[in-house]
Amino acid sequence: MRPITEKDNLLATLEGAFTARGFEQNPLQRKAMDFVLEKGLPTLKSEEYRFAPITRTLENIFRSESTSDSPSISPSSLLSIPDMPSHLVVFVNGIFSPAHSRMLDDTVSLTLTHLQNVKADQDTFELLNHAFAENAVHIQVAENVSVKHPIAIVYYFDSPNFVFANPQWVCSLGAHSNASLLEYTVARTPGAFFNNKHSRVEVGENADLEFAMIQNGSEEEILLNNSHIEIAFSSRVTCHTITLKGKIIRNNLSLALNGERIDARLNGLYLVSGSNLVDNHTVVDHRKPNSYSNELYKGVIDGQGKAVFNGKIFVRPDAQKTNAYQTNRNILLSETGTIHTKPQLEIWADDVKCSHGCTTGQLDEEALFYLQSRGISKDLAKGMLLNAFAGETLNGMKNEKLRSLIDALVTEKLHPADQP
C-alpha cells in the first residue's frame, strides 16, 4: 500500500472531477485513472521529480469546478504569429476547438482519434492526461508531401478561473515528407492554469521534421509537456525547446531512434528569472546502428530562478556505430539562482562515439570589460554577451522568420531596457 500523505486530497479532487465528467465510462480512461491512483502523483522524493514541486504547487491552486467551462470565442489574429501563415490546431482552455483550427491547404489533414493503450510505467502526469483527455487530435501528413507552412499547435487560455488542461495530439509524418511543427501558448488570462500536455510524433522513413516548442505563455503557467518522437530510417529531426516564461515548466522530451542513418538534433534554451522553475528531462534512445544525435541545451538563470537539466542517452546493444553528443551550458546571473545538471548515459554497444559535457559559470568579466572599453554600456554589453550565448542554440533553426521572432523575444527578456 502507498502511504497516506497530504497529496491524497489532490488525488481525491482529481478522482471526483474524473467521475463527475463521466470519464469512467471509457475503459481506457478508467485504466489510466486507476494507474494514477495506484502510483500517486510524484513528490520531491520521486527521483524523476526531485526538483519539480508540481504536485505541491497544484495542491495549493487546483480547483476542479471551473475546468473546461465555456470556451470563449477569440479572434484568430490572436492565435497566429503575424506574417507567418500557419496551419492552426487550436486548443481553447485545453479542449480542441475545430472552430478555431484551420488548414491552409490539403497537405495537412486533421481527424479525431483515440489512444490505443495505456501502461503503468508511463509518466504519472501523462497517465493523468490520458485519464482526462477524451480524444486526441490526429495531424496527418501523407507520404511524399512537402508542407510549405508551419503547423502551429496553439494552446489558448482565457478562463478567469483556474484551468486544468489535458490536450492530446498525435502527428504522423509520411515517408519522404517534410513539415515544421510549432507549438506555443497564448494566454489572455492573468490567472493560473495547468497545461498537462501529451503529444506523440511519428516520423516516417527519410522524412524531415522541425519541431519548435516556444514556451512563452504566462508567468502563472504550470506546464507539464510530455512529448515523444518516434523516428524511422534515414530521417532528420530537429527539436527546439525555448522556455522564456512560466512558473513551473517541465519538459519530458523523448526521441526514439528506431532506424539507421537518423540525424537527430535537440536544442534547448531556457531563460529563468523570478522564482520560476524550468526542468528539462530529455531521452535520446538509439535503438539501431549508424545514427547520429546531438543535443545542446543552454540556460541563463537570474533571481531565484531554478533550472534542471537531466539528459538521458541510451545506446542499445544493437546500436553500434552510434554517434551521440550532449552539451549543457549555464550562466548564473545571481547568487540565488540554481542549476541542477545531470547527464545520464547508458551504453550497451561497444563501438560508439558518445560525449557529454556541462558547464555552469558566470558572465565572462573579461569580455564584458572589452565591450565596455569600446563605449558600450554595461547593460547593453551584458545583453550582447547573453544573446550571443543563447544564440548558439537557435543556429539550427531553419525557419528564418521564427528565428528572428525568437531572437527578438530573447533580446527583450535579456535586456528589456536597453535595446540597440
Partner 1 sequence: MLTIRNLHAKIEDNQILNGINLTVKAGEVHAIMGPNGSGKSTLAAALAGREEFIVTEGTVDFLGKNLLELSPEERAREGVFLAFQYPVEIPGVSTINFMKTALNQIRVHRGETPLDAVAFLKLMKEKMKLVEIEQTLLNRSLNEGFSGGEKKRNEIFQMAMLEPRLAILDETDSGLDIDALRIVANGVNVLRSKNNATIVVTHYQRLLEYIVPDYVHVLYNGRIVKSGTKELALELEEKGYDWIKAEVAAV
Residue 28 binds partner 1, judged by CB under 8 A: no
Which of 103, 387, 396, 407 is close enough to bind partner 1 by CB under 8 A? 387
* Rounded CA separation 339/329 (Å): 10
Please select the residue that binds partner 1; options are 363, 376, 405, 409, rule is CB under 8 A: 376
Minimum Å gap between C-beta 24 and partner 1 is 54
Give least dist CB 375 to partner 1, A.
4
Picking from 318, 206, 317, 273, the residue whose alpha carbon sits closest to that of residue 415 is 273
Count of all residues that appear for the chain in the document = 420
Tell me if 375 contacts partner 1 by CB under 8 A. Answer: yes
What is the distance between the alpha carbons of residues 3 and 11, in angstroms, rounded to a whole number? Answer: 13
Stretch that binds partner 1, among 14-22, 28-36, 174-182, 358-366 (CB under 8 A): 358-366
Q: Which stretch binds partner 1 (CB under 8 A): 41-49, 101-109, 336-344, 388-396?
A: 388-396
Of 3, 75, 361, 420, the residue at the interface with partner 1 (CB under 8 A) is: 420
Does residue 408 interact with partner 1 by CB under 8 A? Answer: no
Asked if 400 touches partner 1 (CB under 8 A), the answer is no
Is residue 392 a contact point for partner 1 (CB under 8 A)?
yes
**Please, what is the minimum distance in Å from the beta carbon of residue 359 to partner 1?**
14
- Closest C-alpha to 159, from 244, 53, 68: 68
H-only helix segments in 137-250? none
- Per CB under 8 A, the list member of 332, 389, 402, 406 interacting with partner 1 is 389
Instruction: By CB under 8 A, tell whether 385 contacts partner 1.
Output: yes
Q: Minimal CA–CA distance to 340: which of 247, 278, 252?
A: 278
Task: Report the C-alpha gap between 192 and 185 in whole angstroms.
Answer: 13
Stretch that binds partner 1, among 50-58, 74-82, 120-128, 372-380 (CB under 8 A): 372-380
Q: Does 19 bind partner 1 (CB under 8 A)?
A: no
Which triple of cell numbers denotes residue 139? 495531424
Task: Give 137's strand partners.
Answer: 112, 169
373 contributes a contact to partner 1 by CB under 8 A: yes
Angle at 149 between CA 89 and CA 145, to 5 degrees: 100
Residue 371 in contact with partner 1, rule: CB under 8 A: yes
**CB closer to partner 1 out of 45 and 374:** 374
Interface with partner 1 includes 359 (CB under 8 A)? Answer: no
Counting contacts by CB under 8 A, is residue 43 touching partner 1? no
Q: Where are the beta strands (DSSP E) in 95-150?
A: 95-96, 109-113, 136-141
Q: Per CB under 8 A, does 13 bind partner 1?
A: no
**Nearest Cα to Cα of residue 204 among 181, 243, 174:** 174
Q: Are 163 and 68 in contact (CB under 8 A)?
A: yes
Q: 304 burial class (0-12, 13-18, 19+ CB within 10 angstroms)?
A: middle
- Taking the CA atoms of 152, 153, 158 and 162 in sequence, report the sign of the dihedral they define: negative
Element (H, E) at 263: strand 263-272
Q: Cβ of residue 407: shortest distance to partner 1, in angstroms?
A: 12
Contact status: 269 vs partner 1 (CB under 8 A): no
Interface positions with partner 1 (CB under 8 A): 364-367, 369-378, 380-381, 384-385, 387-389, 391-392, 420
